Amino acid sequence: MTDQEKNEVLARWAGFQKCDCGEEHQGCGKWWEPDGDVVGLVVLSDFLHSLDAQAKWLWPKLTDANLEIRPGWARALVAIETATYRYQSDSPAEACAEAILSLIGEDE
């Protein structure tokens, strides 16, 4: 899965919706925020590389999970009652995003 595809999976999981504005506007690239605001032309938060974006949109959805990020080791751990998802990467944001992708079953 490409970084863009991973970012879109995380966006959809957070509640963003890609615009479906009809045949004449296919491919407009607009996304709707979970609260209904239009994000703009292919301007999604970079969930894969931004801890700020993750903190705003993804972490609040981890209500039944414990999240631990160890920046010094560039590791992230997302644990729920039945499973633990660990991922190491060059950056804490990427490690966290990959752990969340594993949690939601989109880690391929």
With respect to residue 67, please indicate whether it lies within any of the assigned structural domains.
yes
Within a domain: residue 108? no
Q: pLDDT tens, 44-99?
A: 789 999 989 998 899 888 877 777 766 665 555 665 555 666 677 777 788 888 88
Provide the CATH number for the domain around residue 13.
3.30.2120
Which DSSP helix (H) or strand (E) runs through 17?
Answer: strand 17-18
Among left, alpha and beta (phi > 0; psi -120 to 50; other), residue 47 is alpha
Q: Is residue 92 part of a domain?
A: yes
Indicate the number of domains in the chain: 1
Position 4 pLDDT exceeds 80: yes
Q: pLDDT confidence of 17, banded at 50, 70, 90?
A: confident
pTM: 0.76
> Does any domain span residue 82?
yes
DSSP alpha helix (H) spans, the chain: 3-14, 51-53, 92-103
Provide the residue range defining the domain that includes 75: 3-103
What is the tens place of the pLDDT at every residue in 22-36? 655 555 667 777 876
